[in-house]
Amino acid sequence: MAQQENEVLKVDGDGYVVDTEDCEARELAHRERGTARPITVVGNPVLHRECKDVTEFGPELAQLIDDMFASQRAAEGVGLAANQIGVDQKVFVYDCPDDEGVRHVGVVVNPELVDLPAERRILDDSNEGCLSVPTAYASLARPDYAEVTGQDAQGNPIKVRGTGYFARCLQHETDHLHGFLYIDKLSKRDRKDALRQMAEGTPRYETVPND
């Protein structure tokens, strides 16, 4: 049995968590304590409704977070929401580079996206994919900067911010926990195309079959 570290990340001068330090060691510690679980895919009801708020910040949550890091690594993801392993709780983890290639590793419980002023909303139409829509990708315009408020694994209030691909990840994972997939934001035609890509592809990780 491994010692559960009471990990609390530092905050920077503006009050945002510093999630760029000791990434290798922190990610490894989580996934070594965790067990990878199969990934739910589009059509599974747990992905299409808002998850429950987390109210208990104990060992069960710590274990869930460890399992999520293990699952994220097994599926080669850069972010994972709890409902993607079938758990109806507002938690996401991430291991994702920003627009300067800097790696961010962390967890957000009960996340909410911060509404940004129009001048901060510079849209980036890069490709997006999702472990729950395996083998599909589509271009989707999203702001290239994002901020999320929420709590850490101990229940302390936190703020996370990100640029580039990491900004996309923060938005994508928060959307998951509110019951939305990125394909829900696509045009009808692009959504259909993404589902076709999924039907034609074979995921490189274990998924939960839909009934």
The binding site for Zn ion (CB under 5 A) comprises: 130
176 is in an annotated binding site: yes
Give yes or no: 173 in active site. Answer: yes
**Which amino acid, 96?**
C
- The radius of gyration computed from the CA coordinates of the chain, to the nearest angstrom, equals 16
Nearer to Zn ion, 7 or 185 (CB): 185
Nearer to Zn ion, 54 or 130 (CB): 130
**Angle at alpha carbon of residue 207, lines to 91 and 132, rounded to 5°:** 55
Find the shortest distance in angstroms from Cβ 44 to Zn ion. Answer: 12
178 is in an annotated binding site: no
130 is in an annotated binding site: yes
Find the shortest distance in angstroms from Cβ 94 to Zn ion. Answer: 11
Q: How far is CA 107 from CA 78, 124, 129, 150, in A?
A: 12, 24, 20, 10
| Residue closest to 136 by CA, chosen among 59, 54, 193 | 193
For Zn ion, which residue has the nearest CB? 130
**Given the residues 147, 173, 200, 206, the one annotated as active site:** 173
Nearer to Zn ion, 33 or 176 (CB): 176
Question: What token pair was written down for 126?
Answer: 């890069």
| Residue closest to 172 by CA, chosen among 183, 187, 182 | 182
Find the shortest distance in angstroms from Cβ 139 to Zn ion. Answer: 16
Active site residues: 173
